[in-house]
């Protein structure tokens, strides 16, 4: 657990980057610091591993004041990932990942073995291990950056805009993998971003900072969307926060049976529907086919909703399917049935408005 107590940073030139910031990043959870550019997010993050020394307040890691620790040793116990990965250009991928274990004094062989393990963990092909960073794509570099940070199995990981330099197409997948990885490892993470969408997608707890480095709101994502503490937060969270809030709501939505076509079986007896869902041998949806289409083209597209998914994913599945029937799958990806947009909306209408938990602002408790 990381605890900031009235932490402030005034740079020598007089800039107050962070002012009297108090918050707690709970163990095993993702805490996101979000806010406009220049509001002190990077400074806050760097004060945790003492790359920047606070000018007031104190920071505790697992109850111990970091000010009394050896800075280099503290940093070795905390993983750190930055925007452009910051990989060492003169070391191979493997050499980069071996860095912290070697600093811990591990033997070369043991460090190498561990590096191979983490590279696999972050989904990088072993063939890349001998390459230099300049030979990798941005997304691959970012994976190596994460692997390097995780190599010595730190309890705490600090991440500064880890996904913002990555191509948007790759970003979604990386974020998804990142969430799965965090869940698996149970690492305590503090992540900085300027992107409220990313904050809501990744954070268990979100701290919204405002210009001048003060805390505007610290709460769960659902709560942030439902109860912005003030105009600044409401503005920052954005106009479509009502829709985003659906990401945290689940409700019973009628699921209709679908009569799918098995791929490769050609014309099946008509069900009277113009659009037929095509599934593979295992029952996983492949796409939609229009019965009048002479070439029997498969239309991809249409997001899939999980059986126990959120109202947002249900609505999105219904809105994005060419047939208007949103595809619902179970946790193995096998077709369960379809949902209709009007019925999802009815469920939204009937669902209680989110209340979330207590809002904590810079001033105290609401």
Partner 1 sequence: MSLLGVDLATVLELGQDHLLLAGVPLLVGLALAIPLGWLATRRGWLYPPLVAGTGLLYTIPSLALFILLPGFLGTRILDPVNVLVAMTVYTLALLTRTVADALLSVPGHVRQAATAMGYGPARRFLAVDLPLAVPVISAGLRVAAVSNVSIVSVAALVGVSQLGSLFTDGFNRNAMGPIVVGVIGCVVLAVLFDLVILLVTRLLTPWKVSAS
Residues that bind ligand ADP (CB under 6 A): 11, 13, 15, 17, 37-43
d(CA 19, CA 55): 10
| Residue with smaller CB distance to partner 1, 69 or 255 | 69
Sign of torsion over alpha carbons 147, 149, 151, 153: negative
For 326-329, the CB contacts below 8 A with 24+ separation are 326/302, 327/258, 327/277, 327/285, 327/302, 328/255, 328/304, 329/284, 329/285, 329/304, 329/305
CA dihedral (90, 93, 94, 100) in degrees, to 10, reads 70
| Residue with smaller CB distance to Mg ion, 42 or 313 | 42
Among 80, 163, 248, 288, binds partner 1 (CB under 8 A): 80
DSSP string, 25-79: E-TTSEEEEE-STTSSHHHHHHHHTTSS--SEEEEEETTEEGGGS-HHHHHHTEE
Residues 6+ apart with CB under 8 A from 322: 275, 288, 290, 299, 301, 302
Among 6, 15, 73, 235, binds partner 1 (CB under 8 A): 73
90 binds partner 1, rule: CB under 8 A? yes
Q: Which does 165 bind (CB under 5 to 8 A by kind): partner 1, Mg ion, ligand ADP, none?
A: none
Sign of torsion over alpha carbons 132, 134, 137, 141: positive
Whole-number minimum distance, CB 226 to ligand ADP, in Å? 25
Whole-number minimum distance, CB 119 to partner 1, in Å? 17
| Residue with smaller CB distance to ligand ADP, 14 or 168 | 14
Length of the chain: 366
148 binds partner 1, rule: CB under 8 A? yes
HEC states along 241-280?
HHHHHHHHCCCCCCCECCCCEECCCCCCCCCCCCEEEEEC
143 binds partner 1, rule: CB under 8 A? no
88 binds partner 1, rule: CB under 8 A? yes
d(CA 146, CA 118): 9
Which of 5, 363, 33, 349 minimizes the C-alpha distance to 189?
Answer: 33
299 binds partner 1, rule: CB under 8 A? no
| Residue with smaller CB distance to partner 1, 91 or 116 | 91
Whole-number minimum distance, CB 148 to ligand ADP, in Å? 21
| Residue with smaller CB distance to partner 1, 13 or 292 | 13
Whole-number minimum distance, CB 38 to ligand ADP, in Å? 4
| Residue with smaller CB distance to ligand ADP, 200 or 226 | 200
| Residue with smaller CB distance to partner 1, 130 or 262 | 130
Which of 140, 139, 149, 144 minimizes the C-alpha distance to 187?
Answer: 149
Q: Which does 73 bind (CB under 5 to 8 A by kind): Mg ion, ligand ADP, partner 1, none?
A: partner 1
Whole-number minimum distance, CB 212 to ligand ADP, in Å? 9
48 binds partner 1, rule: CB under 8 A? no
Contacts with Mg ion in 35-54 (CB under 5 A)?
42
Query: Which chain residues interact with partner 1 by CB under 8 A?
Result: 49, 51, 72-77, 80, 82-84, 86-91, 99-100, 103, 131-132, 134-135, 148
Query: Which chain residues interact with Mg ion by CB under 5 A?
Result: 42
């Amino acid at each position: 657990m990381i605890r900031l107590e009235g932490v402030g940073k005034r740079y020598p030139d007089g800039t107050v980057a962070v002012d009297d910031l108090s918050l707690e990043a709970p163990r095993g959870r993702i805490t996101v610091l979000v806010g406009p550019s220049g509001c002190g997010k990077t400074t806050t993050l760097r004060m945790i591993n003492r790359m920047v020394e606070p000018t007031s307040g104190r920071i505790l890691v697992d109850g111990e004041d970091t000010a009394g620790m050896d800075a280099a040793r503290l940093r070795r116990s905390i993983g750190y990932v930055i925007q452009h990965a910051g990989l060492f250009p003169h070391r191979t991928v493997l050499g980069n990942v071996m860095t912290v274990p070697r600093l811990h004094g591990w033997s070369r062989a043991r460090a190498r073995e561990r590096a191979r393990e983490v590279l696999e963990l972050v989904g990088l092909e072993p063939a890349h291990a001998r390459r230099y960073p300049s030979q990798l794509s941005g997304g691959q570099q970012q994976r190596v950056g994460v692997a390097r940070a995780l190599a010595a199995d730190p309890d705490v990981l600090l991440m500064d805009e880890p996904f913002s330099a990555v191509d948007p197409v790759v970003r979604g997948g990386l974020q998804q993998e990142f969430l799965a990885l965090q869940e698996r490892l149970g690492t305590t993470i503090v992540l900085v971003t300027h992107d409220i969408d990313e904050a809501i997608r990744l954070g268990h707890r979100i701290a919204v900072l405002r210009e001048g480095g003060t805390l505007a709101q610290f709460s769960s994502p659902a709560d942030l969307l439902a109860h912005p503490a003030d105009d600044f937060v409401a503005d920052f969270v954005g106009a479509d926060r009502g829709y985003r809030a659906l990401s945290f709501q689940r409700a019973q939505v009628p699921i209709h049976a679908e009569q799918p076509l098995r791929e490769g079986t050609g014309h099946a007896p008509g069900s009277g529907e113009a659009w037929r869902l095509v599934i593979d041998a295992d029952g996983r949806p492949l796409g939609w086919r229009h019965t009048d289409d002479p070439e029997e083209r498969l239309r991809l597209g249409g997001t899939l909703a999980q059986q126990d998914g959120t109202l947002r994913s249900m609505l999105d599945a219904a809105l994005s399917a060419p047939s208007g029937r949103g595809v619902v799958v179970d946790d193995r990806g096998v077709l369960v049935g379809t949902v209709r947009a009007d019925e999802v909306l009815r469920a939204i209408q009937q669902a209680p408005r989110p209340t979330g938990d207590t809002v904590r602002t810079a001033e105290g408790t609401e």
